[in-house]
Structure formats: C-alpha cells, structure tokens
Structure 1
Amino acid sequence: MEEQLHQLIEWWQAIHSLDLVLAVALPTAILLLRRWLSDLLILGIIGIVRRFGLLIEPTARSSLRPAMTGLLGMLAAFLGISVLDLPGAAALIVLSVLQSLLVFGVFWLINALILVLLEQAKVIGVHQGRLRGSWISQIVRFLLVAIAVVVVLNVWGIDLGPALTGLGIAGAAVALAAQDQIRNLLAGFNIAAERRFREGDWIRISQDVEGIVEKIDLRSTVIRRFDNGTEHIPNSELANNSLSNFSRRTARRLRWTIALTYGTETETLNSICEEIASYINTSDRFVGLTEANLFVRLYALEESSIDILVDCFVAANEYSAELDARHELILAIKKIVEGAGAEFAFPSRSVYTENKATGLAGSI
C-alpha cells in the first residue's frame, strides 16, 4: 500500500501540466458536446444501415440517443484517465473498470439499434407480427449480455477455457432434462420461418382447437377460442399437426342446394339456373366466373324435389360480409324462382289406404 502511495506521489510530481489540462479538457468537451456528437454519430449509423436496405424513421432515432450519450460519457472518462497515464496497479484497475463500462456501453447501443430496427420492420409490415417483439428482444438481450460478459472477463484477464468446458458438460445435462422445452423452442422458430400464422389470425388446429392467435411465446402459442376461453398450445404440437389459417383466405365459399318441386318444367329449371348464375357473376359481393369456380347446376333427384347446386365464393373474408352476401343472394333466388312461376319443395310423404269393403285405394 505504501509503495502504491509512493508511486502516486512520484507520478503527481512528474506529471506535465499539459497532460492535466488535456485530461480535463477532452472529457469536458465530449460531455458538453455529447448531444451534438450523439446526433452526428446516429446519422452515421443510419447511413451505414441504409446501405443494407434498412431505414430508420426520424421518430425512432430518439431511442438510440440515451445509449449513444451514455457511451460518449464512458468514452470521455476513459480518454481522460488514459491521458493521465496512472502508475502501477491503480492504472490497471481504473482502466479495466473503464474498459468494462465501454464494453457494456457498446453492447447497450447495439441492443438499442437492433430493437429500433425490429420495431421499424414491424411498422412497415416486414415483420408482419409472425415473431412477437418480446421473442427477439429477449433473445438479442440474452446473447448480447452473454457476449459482453465474456469480453469483460477477458479484459480482466480471466481465462474462460475451463469454465466453458464445464458449461459444455452442464449444457448437455440440461439439454437432456429439457428436451420438451428445446423441442418447443425449435418448433417456434420453425413456425416463424414458415410464416404459418401471426398474431390476430383465425386458425384451426386438427379440427380440435379453433380461435384467434393472441400471443406467440418461446414455448407455446396462446389461442383465444370463440367462447372467450384460452388454449395454450405447445409449439411442437403446432409444428406437427395440420393447421388451417382462415385469415389467409381471399374469399369465403358458399355451397347450397335449392329444392324445387317435380312439377317445374325443364325450360324453367334451365332459366332459373342461368339467372342465378348471372346474378352471382355480376354482383360485387361475389367472385366472378373469371376469377374462381362458379357452379349453378341441376344436382340431384331427391324424394321430394329436384335440387339445384349453387357453389360460389363471397369476395371477402369478413363474416359480416358473408352474412350480407347470403342475405342478398337468398332474396335474389326467391325472386328468381317466384318470377319463373316455380315453387320451392319441402319434404312430404304420401300414405295410401285401401278400403277392403269396396276394394278402392286412396291417398292421404
């Protein structure tokens, strides 16, 4: 301790006054100009990022300013101490601390930049909600903290070789014990890569679970059923089962049969089919014949009716639009059938009786 104190006294007596001025003036100038320097450096980062086809909106730049100003403050302290050239162990300790702070400042800025890019991608529609923001932010933060800790330990001269070997053995044991969690995690990344669905989509899983995707997490996906209950589905099940995404539909299918009486004439049946097909083909609520299949045909001879098949698509994916289209189509079909002088059929049954006394048969 006395030796360290003696070294500091000798250093203080031998230090040049210009070094002291520079050690104070340089950090002070950086601290006073840190906001201007911060904006200038952020503009430089934006220019570099733009070369990779990524854009950062002006409103998002404010998210980078705290990290950049913090990094400049740490840099000012490091430069000030470096100019002084402290002697002995004091220099080693102080410089190691400041280098550690600089490392965390750099990774803090990288984390802020990545989060800004992710948020910007979500706003412009590239992200498309297929990966929840918290997913990537958690993963990025974990990786950056892990790398920063390794770099800081390296600054302090700590050898990580034996520790990494032990971590490898422990990691293998943890992997065996957490197979389901790892399987769900990998399945989640697989789902995200395939873009099978995103939050807000209406999906059905193997005919068992149907609802709106409410949240996509690392291990499971939360689905809000239409009875307002929730289902937490492990991602491995989502990856291994068939899944229907109704939100990706561009149209909703209608498939009806219209029952007409057997007394309807052949020409009338053809006329009714043609008029219904013409109405659907010219209506804005339905997909026309040039864009999708449209069938209006005589379909079956039932016990009490001749059936006409109406197979078409509503030009919307919203349920309310389908209801409006159904309403108008029913009114149009009723008007066409009545205008043609035909009648709708309904199930009926005739009962024949025989009078044994007279031998005459009759029906009821």
Structure 2
Amino acid sequence: MEEFVTRFIQIWTDFRYLIAIGAYVIWLCFAWVIIRTFDHIIRRLVRKTPNKIDDIILAEAHFPFWLISIIVGFYVVSITVGMPKAVQPFVSRFTELSVVFLVIYFFIRIIINIIRLAGEVNQGLRSLVPTFSRIANIFIFGAATMMVMDIFGISVTPILASLGIAGIAIGLAMQDTLSNFFAGIYILINQPVRNGDYIELENGLKGYIFHVGWRETRIKTLLNNYVVVPNSKLSQSIITNYNLPQSEMSCLVKVGVSYDSDLEEVEKVTLQVAKEVMKKVEGGVTSVLPLMRYHTFNDFSIDFTVVLTVSKFVDKYTIISEFIKALHKRYNKEGIVIPFPIRTIQMEKK
C-alpha cells in the first residue's frame, strides 16, 4: 500500500501538468454535455409557453454560462495542480472579475432585449427604448464597478453615501423634469393619446398629437400651429380623444321646420338629402344610415336633429357645411319652410 501511494505521488509530481490538462479537457467535455442537455430540455419547455421573456433568457444564457464553465474549470484545475503562490492571487481575482462581468453582461442583454420587446408590443414605448437601455446600462455597470472595487478591497460605503446625498440633491433640483419624464412614460404605456389622434383638452385646446416626448407633448392645431404641453400637465388634464375607441364618429345637425309642415314629408326629404351628401362628400360613412329624430315643440318651429356619421373628426366640418347647403336648396324646392322668429311691436297712440 505504501509503495502504491509513493508511486502515485511520484507520477502526480512528474506528470501533474499533463494530468491537469487532461482533467481540464474532461471538464470541458462534461460541461459541454451538461449545457447542451439542459439547453435541449429547457428549449422544449420554453416552446410550449406563449411568453417571450423565457426565450430571451434562454438565448442570452448560453454564451456567458459556457464561458463561466471554462473559467471556473481552469481555476479549479489550477488550484488542484498547486499553482505558485505568487500567481494564485492573480488567478483568483481574474476568475472573480470574469464571473462578475459575464453575469453583468447576461443581465444587461436580458434587460435590453426585454425593453426592446416592450417597444415592439407597445408602439408608444419604441421612442423610449434607447433611453431605458442607457439607464439600465448605467445602473448595471455602476453595480459591477462597486463589486469590482469590493473584490480589490476598496470600501464602497463612502461612495454609496455620497451617491445617496447627490441623488437627493439632483432629485430635488430636477423635480419638474422628473415628473414630466414619468408622466411621459405613463402616457406612452397607457396610451390615452397617440401620435395622430385628434384631441380636446378641458381648457378648450384642440389639435392633433404630433409627438409625445420624454418631457413634453406637441399638439398641432387646425391653424397649423404647435402647442407644447408639459407631460405632467397633460396627464392631469381631462382629455377628449376623438380617435378612440375608433376614428368614426357621429355629428349632430339641429334643424327646425314650420308648424304647417308635413312632418312625414320633411323626414323623407331630409333623409334623402343626408344620404346623397354622405355618398358625394369625402369623409362621409355610407355604411351607417343617417338618422333623424323630432324632439322639441319650439316657440316658432318643430325642431329635430339629424345624425350623420363621418370617418374622422375634421370631416364633420365639410359634411355639415355641404348638408346645410343641400338641405336649404331642397327645402326651397319642396316648399318646406324653415321659420325664423318674428316680433310684432305695437305702438300706443297718444
């Protein structure tokens, strides 16, 4: 037994580097088999899920974890063969730093791809993808720097305290900017308004949403002017969006006819004119029939409302204008009277 141990030690001493290389090769083969097996199993499970996040994690995990297995295997073999003491601290720090950077790289890739996925799902977030990616990179690289400093024995507590104080000061100084930034994120995610929508604010401002940025929203009015509204103000305002839930909308035209009129004939003529206008004028929706309803016995007329459907908000101005002209012409032809108030003034004779 003693002779066997002595012989083993002699062989280990003479061929330890060759043995280490062989062990390292075996480790790499074993790691490759394990990684490939797990990759195959997990990939089959991931295909069954509708969620794309697990696809992103699986795709990004292969490269860094393969490198980590190579580095860790090299470190274990180096410790086993008994590396020189002068080299050991260098190898240890190299291994720690490599693992840290590969893990950080893994998380950066996951976060960036998730942000891009969110931009594909939500079109409004697409403009913020570069900004979110930079912020994620800054935070992750900052954390990596702190970990590296800790590995080299540098205390990070004073730095964290200084960063905390600086963060509070910057937050107070940029309070309005930050409120606009987060309000912009809310608008882009929740999408109460979108680029191209025609909206009306509670203060009477009307126009098209031209651009939603990280600080302000630009509205283009019908007079071809830009109105810049801070996102924090817009998110707190009562908004009427004429493009949601769909761009088609109804417009109302109020009309009155004389008490002497045949109401059945008035209804027939009015609906004929409305249908003709909807067919001829661009912006009219012919798939929805015009509607007419009497509703008021007024002082000098019987009033009714005609409901016309237009494809978008601004089309209502043209449709209403053309309808009024055509209706007035047809009423004159049919002898239908649109009354107007008449006052009789009696003068007393002295």
Query: Normalising by the residue count of structure 2, what TM-score does the alignment of the two structures yield?
Result: 0.65
- Paired position in structure 1 for 2:24: 23
- Paired position in structure 2 for 1:314: 309
Paired residue secondary structure (2:250)? strand
Paired with 2:44 and 2:229, the residues of 1 have a C-alpha distance of 40
Q: Are 1:273 and 2:280 an aligned pair?
A: no
Question: How big is the shift at 1:195?
Answer: 4.0
Paired with 1:115 and 1:233, the residues of 2 have a C-alpha distance of 30
Question: How big is the shift at 1:299?
Answer: 6.8
Q: Are 1:102 and 2:96 an aligned pair?
A: no
Question: How big is the shift at 1:225?
Answer: 5.0
Paired residue secondary structure (2:87)? helix
Paired with 1:200 and 1:47, the residues of 2 have a C-alpha distance of 42
Unaligned runs of 5+ in 1: 1-11, 351-364
- Paired position in structure 2 for 1:91: 88
Asked if 2 retains the 8 angstrom alpha-carbon contact of 1:188 and 1:236, the reply is: yes
Paired residue secondary structure (2:124)? coil
Q: Are 1:175 and 2:171 an aligned pair?
A: yes
- Paired position in structure 2 for 1:44: 42
Aligned 1:149-228 pairs, distance under 5 A: 149-192=145-188, 194-205=190-201, 206-208=203-205, 210-217=207-214, 219-224=215-220
Query: Normalising by the residue count of structure 1, what TM-score does the alignment of the two structures yield?
Result: 0.63
Asked if 2 retains the 8 angstrom alpha-carbon contact of 1:82 and 1:95, the reply is: no
Asked if 2 retains the 8 angstrom alpha-carbon contact of 1:24 and 1:80, the reply is: no
Paired with 1:145 and 1:42, the residues of 2 have a C-alpha distance of 32
Question: How big is the shift at 1:178?
Answer: 2.0
Question: How big is the shift at 1:157?
Answer: 3.6
Aligned 1:273-312 pairs, distance under 5 A: 273=267, 276=270, 285-286=287-288, 295-297=293-295, 300=298, 306=301, 308-312=303-307
- Paired position in structure 2 for 1:358: none
- Post-superposition CA distance 1:134-177 (Å, at most 9, x none): 34434433333333333333333433222212222222222222
Q: Are 1:142 and 2:122 an aligned pair?
A: no
After superposition, the CA RMSD in angstroms is 4.9
Paired with 1:346 and 1:176, the residues of 2 have a C-alpha distance of 65
Report the AA paired with residue 44 of structure 1.
I
- Paired position in structure 1 for 2:254: 257
Question: How big is the shift at 1:47?
Answer: 4.3
- Paired position in structure 2 for 1:69: 63
Paired residue secondary structure (1:248)? coil
- Per the alignment, do residues 326 and 231 of structure 1 end up closer, same or farther by CA in structure 2, a change over 3 Å counting? closer
Paired with 1:209 and 1:100, the residues of 2 have a C-alpha distance of 57
Unaligned runs of 5+ in 2: 1-12, 276-284, 344-350
Asked if 1 retains the 8 angstrom alpha-carbon contact of 2:297 and 2:303, the reply is: yes
* Identical pairs, percent: 18
Paired with 1:325 and 1:171, the residues of 2 have a C-alpha distance of 56
Q: Are 1:247 and 2:243 an aligned pair?
A: yes
Paired with 1:46 and 1:139, the residues of 2 have a C-alpha distance of 34
Question: How big is the shift at 1:223?
Answer: 4.1
Paired residue secondary structure (1:203)? strand
